[in-house]
Amino acid sequence: SQELEQSPQSLIVQEGKNLTINCTSSKTLYGLYWYKQKYGEGLIFLMMLQKGGEEKSHEKITAKLDEKKQQSSLHITASQPSHAGIYLCGADPRSNFGNEKLTFGTGTRLTIIP
Amino acid sequence: DVKVTQSSRYLVKRTGEKVFLECVQDMDHENMFWYRQDPGLGLRLIYFSYDVKMKEKGDIPEGYSVSREKKERFSLILESASTNQTSMYLCASSPPWTGVSYEQYFGPGTRLTVT
């Protein structure tokens, strides 16, 4: 079973609209990382959340980690074509998924239409 | 800025061929990783290395091997390529675990097609 589930798997949004991507863990997270991947390219680090209830923002992207530290959301306000790509959440290895490596979610493919 | 480069962006190989994917990082990172990315499955770790000549299996090592003779270079080897190894391969590096952050830096990826 997948330890980190992302939803939705894909999202098509009109430019200018807001959207939310969710990442749910089967275990309490020690920390949660959000990455963005442009189509056909490598991953770019967006932000990291560690504390329950923590919220961070960068430009029009806001990420939150719930109080129980089992769910994170990534919210984009007034989406732009530059936001298109695949968004992946990653669990800090101290979340103890049985290994010492970063565990990734399945990804959410975001398409922005004009 | 950290730079992770991969030898090829696109690669087409035949079934049974031996395939080498090269990854080089310029930040003197101890840790290096090889992932494959497939639709619906996300990123899956194949192998990682935390020092020269040291390697550990990830979640899906079958059909792959790795080599790390120098700190900056981590190679992924497909001994006998098969069609089910058609995928996007991503290399990453990171400094030693500090207890604070586990950020990894990724290369641009190699899209491998095995026919």
Task: For tokens 């696109």, name the residue.
Answer: B10
Alpha-carbon distances of B35 from A43, A66, B75, B98, rounded to whole Å: 11, 28, 12, 22
Rounded to whole angstroms, how far apart are CA atoms B81 and B66?
A: 14
User: What mean pLDDT do residues B13-28 have?
Assistant: 96
B41/A31 touch (CB, cutoff 8 Å), yes or no: no
Chain A residues within an 8 Å CB radius of B101: 48
pLDDT score for A84: 95
Q: Per-residue pLDDT for A66 more than 80? A: yes
pLDDT score for A40: 75
pLDDT score for A55: 94
Chain A residues within an 8 Å CB radius of B24: none
Q: Coil, strand, or helix at residue B15?
A: coil
**pLDDT above 90: percentage of residues in chain B:** 64
Indicate the pLDDT class of residue A72, thresholds 50, 70 and 90.
very high
A4 vs A1, which has greater pLDDT?
Answer: A4
Chain B residues within an 8 Å CB radius of A100: 97
Q: Which chain A residue's Cα is nearest to B39?
A: A106
